[in-house]
């Protein structure tokens, strides 16, 4: 019970502290927008567009990584208690690969469909601009969730807690000092830097305990190439539909849905093929 409590209280404190800091962030956001020169109505409008439209769209796919991380924690913890170094290494490498391909896929999709989502779905072009800016957040956001779960599984809950607090402090600093000078873009840049720092800190401490391999070719170059091919195919389909005489929201959604299916199918094919190759390689080793 003593050993279990030593882990659980840190996790509980982590959740409470992060919730408190995020609440503080929500409270001061409209205030700093006023300091940037906006009126009260404009400040509340921009805050609502960012937190009610853009951020939920970008963070929605993270539900997949959160589910994977939930299953990942007992797997890593079991392998760690059994001193299964090889199992921890293999699980860590697969988890990082999955988070990277998910993040890179979402970057491409949100850059491709950000304007469409903002203009046609939300009827708010500014939401589309924010979605396209926040798209670059995806790989670091999804990867930090996965790496945080691995840290917890390794028993490094204190490190994960400290890293998360550092990330939130960076966000608060960018909010308080960046927004009055650069506007909302100052907060968005701070949000990107925050997740990048948390991801790097998580990776550094995990690598001290697990000597995992990170291949830039497999984790970055190949997924980027796959999504580029998918987006080109999707753009080609959208271009073909542009010659049709049909107009209106329904037709726009239909053509966007067809091009989206093409993007998913192309990207999914490459991911499936690469996953088979990786399994064969790992089994061979």
Confidence of residue 283 (pLDDT cuts 50, 70, 90): low
161 and 222 fall within a common domain:
no
150 and 271 fall within a common domain:
no
181 and 276 fall within a common domain:
no
Query: In this model, does residue 221 exceed pLDDT 70?
Result: yes
Tens-place pLDDT, residues 94-125: 888 888 999 999 999 999 888 888 888 888 88
Confidence of residue 285 (pLDDT cuts 50, 70, 90): very low
158 and 39 fall within a common domain:
yes
- Structural domains counted in the chain: 2
213, 240, 266 — which closes off a domain? Answer: 213
38: Cα within 13 Å, side-chain hemisphere: 21
pTM metric for this prediction = 0.84
Mean pLDDT of 206-222: 86
Looking at residue 197, its pLDDT comes to 93
Instruction: Name the range with the highest mean pLDDT among 57-66, 110-119, 264-273.
Output: 110-119
253 and 157 fall within a common domain:
no
Return the percentage of the chain with pLDDT > 70, whole number: 91
213, 241, 265 — which closes off a domain? Answer: 213
Tens-place pLDDT, residues 7-37: 667 677 777 877 887 788 778 887 888 877 7
Domain, as residue range, for 80: 2-213
Instruction: Name the range with the highest mean pLDDT among 55-64, 106-115, 275-284.
Output: 106-115
Return the percentage of the chain with pLDDT > 90, whole number: 9
Query: In this model, does residue 281 exceed pLDDT 60?
Result: no
Query: In this model, does residue 278 exceed pLDDT 70?
Result: no
223 and 89 fall within a common domain:
no
Looking at residue 104, its pLDDT comes to 92
Q: At what angle do helices 222-241 and 85-116 cross, to 10 degrees?
A: 20
The residue with greater pLDDT, 269 or 242, is: 269
115 and 181 fall within a common domain:
yes
43 and 90 fall within a common domain:
yes
123 and 221 fall within a common domain:
no
**Residues ≥6 apart with Cβ < 8 Å to 78:** 84
267: Cα within 13 Å, side-chain hemisphere: 24
Looking at residue 246, its pLDDT comes to 66
């Amino acid at each position: 019970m003593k050993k279990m409590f030593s882990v659980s209280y840190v996790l509980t404190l982590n959740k409470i502290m992060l919730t408190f800091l995020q609440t503080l962030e929500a409270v001061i956001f409209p205030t700093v927008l006023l300091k940037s020169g906006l009126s009260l109505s404009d400040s509340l409008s921009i805050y609502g567009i960012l937190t009610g439209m853009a951020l939920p769209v970008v963070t929605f796919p993270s539900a997949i990584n959160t589910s994977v991380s939930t299953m990942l924690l007992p797997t890593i913890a079991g392998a760690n208690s059994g001193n299964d170094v090889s199992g921890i290494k293999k699980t860590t490498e697969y988890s990082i690969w999955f988070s990277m391909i998910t993040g890179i896929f979402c970057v491409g999709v949100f850059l491709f469909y950000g304007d469409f989502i903002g203009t046609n779905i939300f009827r708010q072009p500014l939401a589309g601009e924010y979605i396209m800016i926040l798209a670059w957040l995806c790989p670091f956001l999804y990867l930090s969730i996965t790496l945080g779960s691995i840290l917890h599984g390794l028993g490094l809950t204190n490190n994960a807690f400290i890293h998360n607090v550092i990330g939130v402090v960076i966000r608060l600093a960018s909010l308080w000092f960046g927004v009055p000078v650069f506007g909302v873009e100052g907060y968005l840049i701070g949000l990107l830097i925050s997740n990048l720092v948390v991801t790097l800190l998580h990776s550094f401490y995990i690598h001290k305990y697990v000597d995992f391999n990170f291949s830039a070719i497999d984790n970055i170059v190949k997924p980027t190439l796959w999504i580029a091919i998918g987006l080109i195919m999707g753009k080609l389909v959208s271009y073909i539909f542009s010659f049709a005489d049909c107009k209106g929201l329904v037709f726009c959604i239909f053509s966007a849905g067809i091009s989206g299916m093409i993007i998913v199918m192309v990207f999914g094919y490459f991911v499936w093929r690469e996953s088979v190759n990786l399994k064969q390689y790992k089994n061979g080793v």
